[in-house]
Amino acid sequence: MSSQGLTFKDLRNAILFAAFIYLVVVFINDIVDVILIFSITALLVVSLNPFVTWLEKHRIPRAVGTAIVVISLVSLIAALIYFFAPISARQVSELASELPDLISRLSDWFIKMSRRYPAIGSFGEHLNLSSIQQFLKEFVGGIGQVTSSGIYAIASIIVIFVTTIYSLINPKPLIDGFVNALDPKRRPRALAAGERLSSQIKAWARGTIYAMLTIFVLTWAALYLLGFKQALLFAVIAGTLEIVPVIGPILSAIPPLIVALVKNPVLALWVIGSFVLIQQFENHVLIPLVMSRQVRLHPVTVIFWVLVMGALFGLVGIFLATPAGVTAGILYDELYLCEYRKICQEPTEKEEEKTE
């Protein structure tokens, strides 16, 4: 058995590959805002297109159907803001007024615990309003360049809105332009990847909306019964963070848990029990009912994409972590395993019937 060792060709290819990766990273860093805007646009188009297509099948032109769908979506968002924003704003104000007292009591609790358990250290001595504000400033500062200023954020929303409308009205030229740019031999595989991606993104969007609404209602009811003044606010946070699997539910439990901890340790136990029960209901009942198992990702994969998308796009990127992971997984299966390794995972007849 002989080994040729590292050749000059291997070294050259390795250097060229490293240089290519470096240029890709630099390029992505320079156009990170554009990528984020068009990623959100693509997600909206894939999620809303089934409604427009359904209207088109019922003899409603795509332009009119797009207008109906977009107006309905905007009206729904406006109604939610109209009904929930004032209550949430009032509860935020109440929580802000109670924050100094909560932080003071929490700091005292940590100091007492540090005396019993020295390993905790002097964390409580450094827990004050200024340290909390500094932490929030650094955390919110990771939202990303696309939302770093109000004017740019408004301009980005307008671009997303207009681009989504044009894409929904006439998506065929965009699809044909992309497919025609590929080698004819690779077009069938690219189309298969596109169809599979569209199907899974739609399943993810539908299941996520149902899950967000359900978790919002259950969290609101549980915290209201436990006597929380900010039950609606914490429910909105829980429903919003539901879009980030694995990590989102854990983060949503922290604010009410801290409030309960400084008021009554027994109440904190009830909060933990409530969130555990809600998550068990979600994992064993809700997700199997409303979301295809094909969309589910391994927790480690989810955490990886949350970190990657958060580093690239900030908080907005974290909310796009799941569709990014789904997209990467499909492209890996279709364009690498099947196209390059010839290990195709073709759906069975039963899976195709379920998809239909």
pLDDT tens digits, one per residue of 196-239: 888 888 888 888 888 889 999 999 999 999 888 888 889 999 99
pLDDT band, residue 143 (cuts 50/70/90) = very low
Look at residue 71 in the predicted model and tell me its pLDDT.
Answer: 93
The answer to whether position 171 is within a domain reads: no
The answer to whether position 149 is within a domain reads: no
pLDDT band, residue 64 (cuts 50/70/90) = very high
Please indicate whether residue 87 or residue 25 has the higher confidence score (pLDDT): 87
What mean pLDDT is predicted for residues 232-261?
85
Query: What percent of the chain clears pLDDT 90, i.e. is strictly above it?
Result: 10
Q: Which of 60-69, 169-178, 283-292, 313-322 has the lowest mean pLDDT?
A: 283-292
Domains identified in the chain, total number: 1
The answer to whether position 338 is within a domain reads: yes
CA 334: distance to chain centroid?
A: 23
The answer to whether position 253 is within a domain reads: yes
Look at residue 6 in the predicted model and tell me its pLDDT.
Answer: 63
Q: What is the pLDDT of residues 85-125, one digit of tens each?
A: 888 888 878 777 777 777 677 666 666 666 666 655 555 55
Look at residue 2 in the predicted model and tell me its pLDDT.
Answer: 47
Mean of all residue pLDDT scores within the chain: 76
| Backbone CA torsion sign across 284, 224, 221, 234 | negative
Q: Is the pLDDT of residue 285 over 70?
A: yes
Q: Is the pLDDT of residue 295 over 70?
A: no
The answer to whether position 66 is within a domain reads: no
pLDDT band, residue 351 (cuts 50/70/90) = very low
Look at residue 267 in the predicted model and tell me its pLDDT.
Answer: 87
Look at residue 75 in the predicted model and tell me its pLDDT.
Answer: 93
The answer to whether position 19 is within a domain reads: no
Amino acid found at 12? R
Domain that holds residue 282: 184-356
The answer to whether position 132 is within a domain reads: no
Look at residue 191 in the predicted model and tell me its pLDDT.
Answer: 81
Please indicate whether residue 114 or residue 133 has the higher confidence score (pLDDT): 114
d(CA 196, CA 327): 10
The answer to whether position 346 is within a domain reads: yes
Q: What is the pLDDT of residues 26-53, one digit of tens each?
A: 777 777 778 778 888 888 888 898 899 9
pLDDT band, residue 126 (cuts 50/70/90) = low
